[in-house]
Structure formats: C-alpha cells, structure tokens
Amino acid sequence: MAIRPIVALAMFGGMCVAAAADVAPAPSLPLFAQTAQTEPQEPSVWSGLSIGSEFFAISGKGVRSGVGGDGFIGYNHAFANDVVVGVQTSAGYSPSLSRWSAAQGFDFASTNVKFGYDIGRFTPFVTADVVLAKPDRIGRGYTTPTDSVNNLFDSSAGVKALGTVSAGFDYAITDALTVNVAVSARSGRDPFAP
C-alpha cells in the first residue's frame, strides 16, 4: 500500500512539470534579430546639390535684345515619404517683353523654396519665390550671373522686390539632366519680372 501513494505523487508531479513547460515563454531573440530588416533604399534622383544655367530667347514685335539667361545653385532633399523640399538661388538677365518700356531688359536675383512629390522620374511641385529685379536701360544684356548681381546692386535706384508662386513638374531624362514646365504668378504691377 505504500507504493500506491508514491506512484500517484510521481504522476501528479509529472503533470505539473508538463503544464509549466507549456506556459513558459519562448527564449528571447537577440536585439538585432528582433528589428525588421528593410532593403536599402535607392537614392532619389531629386536629392542633392544642383548647379546649372538657363538660356532663353524671346522674339516678337518691338523686342530688343531678346536673349537672356541665368546661373543657379540649389539643394533638394527627398524624404522617406517621397516629399521633396528644396531651396535654390539664381541670378541673371531677362529681356523686356514690353516694347513700350524704356528698359531693354532687367537684371535679377531670386531665391525660391520648392515643395514636390517624388513619383520616380516625374515630380510635381509648387514654389514660392522672392525676386529682386532692376531695369536695364543701358542695354548691357546678359554676360554672366555675377555681372547681373553687380548690375543689380551697383546703385539702389530702381531695384524692385517681387513675390512669385509657381506650380509645375520636373522630369528627369537622366540622373544628371532634368527639364521642367511651370506656370507662375507674381505680385506687383511693374512691366518687368523674371
């Protein structure tokens, strides 16, 4: 009779151990194994430093010296959520569109802030610009961006400040060559603006 209580106790003890093993937590993983592995993101075409120049020509009845251009430098940053934010500054010369104006063109310097959305090689955007412009009554025309800045600030007479907003899109033909189309609206009633 003494054997029966020992067998019963051994069976009861075995059941307790098995039940405890079912509830025990799984061993924890090392920290590096718990973090989700993400694939490295390919750098955006729209991130980085941009330096370049623009050339434009205007033709029409009464337009004198219809050639202009500018130089620019800027930086864009594409965030992980595909929003692109950038800032750009430029300086140059633009011919006058008005045949009744005494100015043949104007020297300008501008700074803009750009907000866009990265859709691969296509990026719609909006910008807000501040422009300083000065009529060129002598007809110096465009030579270099630094000459345009010097002409703009050689005397304070005639310098106008304008605000501009734009909307458009950029398209990356290659990683180093982009084109854009934009529509702009400006403040002020002066007959000249970049």
Q: Which residue has the higher pLDDT, 43 or 20?
A: 43
20 and 56 housed in the same domain = no
Does residue 58 sit in the same domain as residue 147? yes
Q: For residues 95 and 27, which has the higher predicted lDDT (pLDDT)?
A: 95
How many domains, in total, are found in the chain?
Answer: 2
* Local structure of 152: helix, strand or coil: helix
Q: Is 29 contained in some domain?
A: yes
Q: Are residues 79 and 150 in the same domain?
A: yes
165 shares its domain with 108: yes
Tell me, yes or no, whether 194 lies in a domain: no
Give residue 126's domain range: 48-186
pLDDT score for 185: 85
* The pLDDT of residue 158: 77
Query: Among 4-18, 71-85, 156-170, where is mean pLDDT lowest?
Result: 4-18
**Predicted confidence (pLDDT) per residue in 128-166, tens digit:** 999 888 877 665 555 666 677 777 777 666 788 889 999
State the pLDDT at residue 162: 86
Q: Which residues neighbour 118 within 8 Å (Cβ) at sequence distance 6 or greater?
A: 44, 45, 46, 78, 82, 83, 84
pLDDT above 60 for 100: no
- CATH number of the domain that 178 lies in? 2.40.160
Residue 81 lies in a domain: yes
| Residue ranges in the chain assigned as alpha helix (H) | 3-23, 31-34, 145-153
pLDDT mean across residues, the chain:
76
Local confidence band at 127 (pLDDT 50, 70, 90 cut-offs): very high
In a domain, 41, yes or no: no
Are residues 109 and 90 in contact, defined by beta-carbon separation less than 8 angstroms? yes
At residue 101, the 3 state secondary structure works out as: coil
| 89 and 25 both lie in a single domain | no
Same domain, 73 and 144: yes
Query: What is the per-residue pLDDT for 40?
Result: 55
Same domain as 150, residue 105: yes
